[in-house]
Amino acid sequence: MSLDPYNALITAVEPDLVPRPGRLSGKRLLVKDLIDTAGIRTTYGSKIYGDHVPDRTAPAVTRLLDAGAVLVGKANLPEFAWAVMGQNPFYGTVHNPAAPGKTTGGSSAGNAAALAADMCDIGLGTDTGCSIRLPSACCETVGLKPRWGSIDMGGVFPLCPTLDTLGPMARTVEDVALVWSVLKGEPVPEPRLDGVTVGLLRRPPTVGDGRATEPSDLAEGWAADLERLGARVVEAGVPEPTANTWPLFNHEALQSHRATYPSRADEYSDVCRTKLEVARRTTVDEVADAYRALEEWRRFEPEVDLYAAPCYTQELPPEDADELEVRLRFSEFLRWVNLIGWAGLAIGNLQLIAPHDETALAAGLAWSRG
């Protein structure tokens, strides 16, 4: 039997037999293969970087290793982390231990699958539009997309720097909070839902592109337990952006690939190439409008302390579904959180969203302890 039946790893690493002392001592760490590790192949999920071995380790990884975590491998992901599924044409599809035959979600697919299968204890992933939270929800694990700019992104291949975040993944909120604490050098927040005002989000805002989002009452299913834990639960919404924000994403993604696209276009997959060709048609005025809208949106101050929402609302797609067909609907409760820059904590399919990491984590810890 394969040691990796879920195809969760691109590169396995022989772990140190004697872990360093520290807050994470002995915890098996799986790092998304978008994040540099010195002397260990780091492919970014691509053919182009298939033999790439970085000289330096990303600062976030170093912090975890210095705290005693034991690196066991580099996690599989879609090409350049640009997909909501666990598919990769070069390294194979990641399989979902929690829902066989269904997608793991993406793009931190290998991390979530390995956690669900107990192949590691903690993971380090990235999230630009859904990429920590969606796989955590699909694989019934836990993951935090921190507030934008709160964790050092050094040594991470960029997708869209204005939205890119780096964050912890695990099987429990407690382990996610512990890894976050090590990454930030801040204490673990005290559990808290008592007295907190939680807004039920029944319809996510759009990204300003004119495509309506779908409402869902799934958040209602968590309301009674939130109230039992002392929260005040109310209806709440989030305002719409004042312009289409996709041009910002497209512009920055194209800039991230300028060294290899279109000069090496034949080494990209059809899916990634299609997205880059769309990005090339973005105009200067569209990009300027998108940046202005994002700056305005990030000044919004909510009337609630945090929001409760699902991560996804549809039946999980099959692992071989067409990513281009499912991506927008599948990620619409998640994508806006990156745009507005807030924190999002996925506990299975429950998403707790707040302007600050500490608020989401405190609520998540209280929720997990019941």
Q: Which residues are catalytic?
A: 32, 107, 131
Rounded Cα gap, residues 48 and 265, in angstroms: 10
Other CB atoms within 10 Å distance of the CB of residue 194 = 10
CA–chain centroid gap for 266, Å, is: 28
Inter-CA distances, 58 with 55, 128, 153, Å: 10, 18, 8
Go through the chain and tell me how many residues it has: 370
Rounded to the nearest 10 degrees, how much is the dihedral formed by the CA atoms of 239, 326, 161, 274? -130
DSSP 8-state code for residue 305: S
CA–chain centroid gap for 267, Å, is: 25
Give the helix ranges, DSSP H, for the chain. 59-66, 109-116, 133-138, 173-184, 220-228, 246-256, 270-280, 284-297, 323-330, 332-340, 357-369
Task: At 257, list the tokens.
Answer: 């690939």
Rounded Cα gap, residues 175 and 24, in angstroms: 9
Rounded Cα gap, residues 42 and 260, in angstroms: 17
Q: Buried b vs exposed e over 160-191: b needs ≥16 C-beta within 10 Å?
A: bebbbbbbbbbbbbbbbbbbbbbbbeeebbeb
